[in-house]
Structure 1
Amino acid sequence: MNDASTVDELRNQLVDEILGQHSLPPAVEHALRTVRRDAHLPGLDPADAYTNNAVTIKENPDGPLALSCASVPSTVAMMLAQLDAQPGDHVLEIGAGTGYNAALLSEIVGPTGEVTTVDIDADVALHARQALNRTGYEHVRVIERDGLVGAPEHAPYNRIIGTVGFWDVPAALRQQLAEGGRLVLPLRWRGQTRSVAFHRRGETLTSDGMELCGFVPIIGQDGERIVELADGIVRLHHDQDQGIDSEQLAEVFASPETIEWADVRVGRQEPFDGLWLRITAFEDTICRIEVTKQALARGVRRPVIPVRSPALVEGDSLAYLIAERDDADAERPVRLGAVGYGSYGTELARRMVAHITAWSPDRTAVPRLSIYPGKSSDRDLPAGHSFDKRESRVVISYEEDPRRRA
């Protein structure tokens, strides 16, 4: 299927599908309708290139996640909308991938703008360079380099975007962003990832929007830890500062379970990921639990999503989000609750239910995330819940504490 008109039709159909999910600036829509994704994925049938799916371009021999992939097109579009690049902007991209995103950026910033993309992997950088050359974007810079250091020789940048997952915001990228510039990163904290759009004011990065996403993690940041429980069939994914002790939790699932239900229901297709996000603004005990099929077969209670659900962990105890069908409300037939294990299991389950109850009245509320230099003192930080990463201090807050309204 290589007929040009057919390929154009496939591309436009995909863009129409994306527009059904996201409101896009005209410049982003134009770029998506112009740049050929199939040309950046040679050997792949165009019918597959123009589906709303990620495509792996380099496997990782050392782990389950790919080293590099072409991101889901709707996620690409959403992040470009967050970035809000303008004609003439100088843009830095971390994670060259196929070169497709860099080509889209080049279309958006136009002939007076500049796009620089960096990737640590030589094969990936070469793939991007060759694809950009084939498709008429020879002017895009492709640099083989650790993305954590950016490209200071071409700074400052009006816009910086990461197309790999970050656990921390590198000081180097903040320093290379122009005053008033925008930075969009898939940022991970407390077991969940959001594409966060920041703007720079002095040494501070402050968010003005965030969206759920998932990305291959950047090489060189290892701030997340994994604790294996029940012979490795249950795993907790947590940040290094949380100090979860596997020895304390060794017998947690040998204890009786406690179940608490909230008077909160959701529709079958209704998102509830905002609950996890909200809890991160009030709890240092929140992380991600992964319960395998083997654990479920042994009687461990099913989390709402077995591979990734929010959990509260404290000492020798934990509690996590669960759900059950409840036909009391036909439009929202799924009831949310929590199951607790361990000596504090009941208390943690009730705390989870309190968070569910507080989240429910305003389910789409988004907090503000502020990034301060790691050297900042407590008095430099605004009101909100703060926690530290290696190169930055993070403050997350809602305009109003939901526990005050509950």
Structure 2
Amino acid sequence: MSQTPTADQLRNRLVDAIRHDTPLSTAVERALRTVPREAFLPGIDLHEAYADQAVTIKDNPLGGALPLSCASVPSIVATMLNQLDVRPGDDILEIGAGTGYNAALLAELTGHHGHVTTIDIDSDVALHARTMLDHAGYQHVHVMERDGLTGAPENAPYDRMLAAVGLWDLPTAWWQQLGEGSRLVLPLRWRGQTRSVALTRHADTLVSESMQLCGFVPVIGQDGEKTTPLNADNTIRVIHDADQAVDARALGASLSSTAGIEVMSAQCVGSEESFDGVWLRATATDDRICRLQVMPDALAQELLPRPAVPVRSPVLVDGDSLAYLIVRRDPADPQRSHQLGAAAYGPHAQQLAQDLIAHIEAWGTARTTLPRLTITPSQSDAATGSGHVISKPESRLTLTY
């Protein structure tokens, strides 16, 4: 008879699985094997606690698909801790306390000579984190009920800052709390996609060190990202930045009254190969790129050809026309390869499709190359350097390949 695995065994199996796909520093691996995730998720089955998935701890009181707070996917947690590169003795600020699990990991990484402050805008979440940290033996972690956009200036400056919520803009208040040479890791949203970006401060400029695809609950208090329905049932949507014009009526009319076209590129991917880099590269040159979200009802009704990833595919939007990414089996190699292409609608469908194909081909020449991202305060005179600038109310993003 097989024995039920213990929490320690399940924890080590999870870390082994994460390490198989993600290189881990010795310190991060040790922290993941030390901190009991189940202690921060009372009432959750052990197998669920050690599955590589998010666990909701508080639903959004306003409704919607995203929870107010959750325990993040462990593999994403590990990736971001690697990016943060905590050193013993570091002073750390975490924005988004969640369950308290992340703060416990940070406490393990910085050790007895460092200090961890974690903040959350929601009183219930902050209380949960405080209670779980106390029960798990991390009473020295400082938990505060606080708007994450203001940070925690009373414990600044910080050597490391980690945001466990999605940010659309970089708050001005954070600049006063980041020390020179400090590291900031945050899930940053621009043009409809989210990347966990590790940035190092050099005077009035943050410079990227690494970038990983991720998804996070958005921070409360930023509304620069908009969702525009393109049909009456709200099953086809464009998610875009505030500076991007989306004409819902004109686009909806093009989708319903004009025949779409499909144009395929020369680029193929394996069944397990990521092609999210197409989207990332397009954001560095093209302000028309945003996100298309097609819900299951629209797919079932075959209202338009299936996007590459129905809930999050890159789309070029220009007036009354759009072109989005599609994937088709390669006739020459139907078992292994999938061909990338564009489906387009509207009077300018042909041109937009060709523009999207150009982005696909540009990515195909250097698939793993990442852009250099620099961020400066919007009111700063710091030079942005060469590259494509995306201006937001509190910061300027510059992307350079």
**Which TM bucket (shorter chain)?**
over 0.9
- C-alpha spacing 1:236/1:182, structure 2 compared with 1 (3 Å): same
Residue number in structure 2 paired with 1:271: 274
How far 1:298 moved relative to its partner? Answer: 4.3
Return the TM-score normalized by structure 2.
Answer: 0.96
Residue number in structure 2 paired with 1:21: 21
Give 3-state SS (helix, strand or coil) of 1:20's partner. helix
For the 8 Å contact 1:116–1:143, the answer to whether it is kept is yes
Q: Does 1:299 align with 2:300?
A: no
Q: Does 1:333 align with 2:342?
A: no
Distance (whole Å) between structure 1 residues aligned to residue 342 and residue 204 of structure 2: 40
Aligned AA (1:142): V
Residue number in structure 1 paired with 2:191: 190
Distance (whole Å) between structure 2 residues aligned to residue 230 and residue 350 of structure 1: 25
Give 3-state SS (helix, strand or coil) of 2:108's partner. helix
Q: Does 1:367 align with 2:368?
A: no
Distance (whole Å) between structure 2 residues aligned to residue 85 and residue 40 of structure 1: 22
Give the root-mean-square deviation of aligned CA atoms. Answer: 1.5
Distance (whole Å) between structure 2 residues aligned to residue 90 and residue 328 of structure 1: 56
Q: Does 1:227 align with 2:231?
A: no
Aligned AA (1:329): D
For the 8 Å contact 2:230–2:252, the answer to whether it is kept is yes
Residue number in structure 1 paired with 2:134: 133
For the 8 Å contact 1:120–1:144, the answer to whether it is kept is yes
For the 8 Å contact 1:193–1:214, the answer to whether it is kept is yes
Aligned AA (2:260): E
How far 1:333 moved relative to its partner? Answer: 1.7
Distance (whole Å) between structure 2 residues aligned to residue 38 and residue 69 of structure 1: 14
Residue number in structure 1 paired with 2:241: 239
Distance (whole Å) between structure 1 residues aligned to residue 224 and residue 137 of structure 2: 39
Distance (whole Å) between structure 1 residues aligned to residue 216 and residue 341 of structure 2: 29
Aligned AA (1:243): A
Q: Which of the numbers 289, 293, 305 marks the counterpart of 1:290?
A: 293
Query: Which range moved further: 62-71 or 243-252?
Result: 243-252
State the percentage of identical aligned residues: 56
Gaps spanning 5+ residues in structure 1: where? 399-406
Distance (whole Å) between structure 2 residues aligned to residue 206 and residue 166 of structure 1: 17
Give 3-state SS (helix, strand or coil) of 2:249's partner. coil
Aligned AA (1:196): V
Give the length in aligned residue pairs: 395
- C-alpha spacing 1:85/1:190, structure 2 compared with 1 (3 Å): same
Aligned AA (2:115): E
Distance (whole Å) between structure 1 residues aligned to residue 361 and residue 48 of structure 2: 42
Q: Does 1:81 align with 2:82?
A: yes
Residue number in structure 2 paired with 1:401: none
How far 1:303 moved relative to its partner? Answer: 0.7
How far 1:247 moved relative to its partner? Answer: 3.1
Residue number in structure 2 paired with 1:403: none
Q: Does 1:345 align with 2:346?
A: no
Aligned AA (1:340): A
How far 1:50 moved relative to its partner? Answer: 1.0
Aligned AA (1:249): L
CA deviation string 1:324-382 (max 9, x = no partner): 111313674211110111111110000101111111121111111111111146x8221
Distance (whole Å) between structure 1 residues aligned to residue 200 and residue 137 of structure 2: 31
Q: Which of the numbers 245, 258, 263 marks the counterpart of 1:260?
A: 263
Aligned AA (1:237): I
Distance (whole Å) between structure 1 residues aligned to residue 93 and residue 335 of structure 2: 45
Distance (whole Å) between structure 1 residues aligned to residue 319 and residue 151 of structure 2: 40
Give 3-state SS (helix, strand or coil) of 1:339's partner. strand
Counting only pairs closer than 5 Å after superposition, residues 149-160 of structure 1 correspond to structure 2 as 149-160=150-161
Return the TM-score normalized by structure 1.
Answer: 0.95
For the 8 Å contact 1:53–1:72, the answer to whether it is kept is yes
Residue number in structure 2 paired with 1:199: 200
Residue number in structure 2 paired with 1:212: 213
CA deviation string 1:57-100 (max 9, x = no partner): 00113122100000011110000000000000000000000100
How far 1:115 moved relative to its partner? Answer: 0.2
- C-alpha spacing 1:155/1:4, structure 2 compared with 1 (3 Å): farther
For the 8 Å contact 1:376–1:393, the answer to whether it is kept is no
Aligned AA (2:289): I
Distance (whole Å) between structure 1 residues aligned to residue 196 and residue 309 of structure 2: 21
For the 8 Å contact 1:267–1:331, the answer to whether it is kept is no
